[in-house]
């Protein structure tokens, strides 16, 4: 049953992504509104799939390729929808919906399979740690997307080249505000995710810190985003500089993921 519901969610993500792309091409607000409703439906259906998955395997679906990618897509979508409700800005959906669909496609590779998890991973702190960390990272992705849009719009305005795409983008002030809000929400969530992970590590290994590749790279990413948030709040970074730094910070975050997965051993390999 969970497989059928998962496939229904996958279809809803696809239609939402196509709707957002269509809204960009025809420049119609009502098309973007329909795409948002479709994405909301995908989120709800996906939540049902996760609940059924939980019932099927008897634990939180946070271990293994299928479960992790499925959870990443769901959390990213939920974060975007909450943010869209707050800011009334749908343009990020043009990026979020297709990415969520592609992540769901990768998750479908392990559809129907079950990963045997260590009893240590069934602790509630592991679930909280994963969800908080992914939510924080999802907001950082949205911050970087807003930063990229800012750079595109800023370049177009300076060159006096107003294209169909640039007309679809919000004003520079709105994009800058979106970037700031994502950082303000994302940083404490990632911080709480790191703290809960440290508490769990203390319970399991007797030490809150391990010289583990994932922990080291995550700490590096945390420091980078902490510096960016400090520069925005204390120094007053705005506009192009903040946008550039957000994009660079996301690239570092992606690099840490690739490096950790490809070249280092880690206790997070179960993810």
Q: Using alpha carbons, select from 32, 5, 9, 7 the residue that is nearest to residue 168.
A: 32
pLDDT value of position 230: 86
Task: Say whether pTM exceeds 0.85.
Answer: no
Q: What is the pLDDT of residue 46?
A: 93
Confidence bin at 121 (pLDDT 50/70/90): low
Work out the average pLDDT over 50-58.
79
More reliable by pLDDT, 116 or 169: 169
- Rg of the chain over Cα atoms, rounded to whole angstroms, equals 19
Residue 38's pLDDT is what? 94
pLDDT in tens, 135-191: 888 888 888 888 888 888 888 777 776 666 566 677 888 888 888 888 888 889 989
pLDDT at 115: 57
> Residue written as tokens 């911080």?
191
C-alpha 220/C-alpha 179 separation (Å) is: 20
Q: Average pLDDT of the chain?
A: 80
Residue 263, both tokens: 């070249």
Other C-beta atoms closer than 10 Å to the C-beta of 160 total 6
Could you tell me what percent of the chain has a pLDDT over 90?
12
Q: How confident is the model at residue 37 (pLDDT cuts 50, 70, 90)?
A: very high
Distance from C-alpha of 147 to C-alpha of 121, rounded to nearest angstrom: 36
């Amino acid at each position: 049953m969970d497989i059928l519901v998962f496939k229904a969610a996958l279809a809803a993500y696809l239609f939402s992504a196509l709707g957002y792309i269509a809204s960009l091409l025809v420049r119609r607000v009502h098309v973007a509104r329909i795409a948002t409703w479709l994405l909301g439906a995908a989120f709800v259906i996906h939540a049902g799939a996760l609940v059924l998955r939980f019932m099927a395997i008897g634990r939180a679906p946070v271990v293994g390729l299928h479960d992790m990618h499925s959870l990443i897509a769901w959390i990213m979508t939920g974060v975007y929808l909450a943010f869209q409700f707050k800011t009334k800005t749908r343009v990020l959906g043009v990026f979020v919906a297709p990415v969520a669909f592609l992540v769901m496609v990768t998750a479908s590779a392990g559809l129907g399979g079950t990963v045997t998890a260590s009893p240590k991973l069934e602790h509630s702190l592991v679930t909280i740690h994963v969800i908080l960390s992914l939510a924080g990272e999802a907001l950082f992705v949205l911050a970087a997307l807003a930063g990229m849009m800012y750079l595109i719009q800023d370049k177009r305005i300076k060159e006096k080249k107003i294209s169909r795409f640039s007309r679809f983008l919000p004003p520079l002030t709105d994009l800058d505000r979106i970037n700031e809000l994502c950082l303000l929400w994302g940083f404490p969530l990632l911080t709480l995710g790191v703290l809960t992970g440290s508490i769990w590590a203390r319970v399991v290994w007797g030490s809150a810190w391990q010289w583990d590749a994932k922990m080291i790279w995550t700490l590096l990413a945390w420091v980078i985003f902490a510096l960016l948030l400090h520069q925005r709040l204390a120094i007053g970074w705005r506009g192009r500089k903040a946008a550039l730094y957000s994009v660079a910070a996301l690239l570092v975050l992606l690099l840490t993921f690739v490096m950790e997965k490809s070249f280092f051993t880690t206790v997070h390999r179960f993810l």
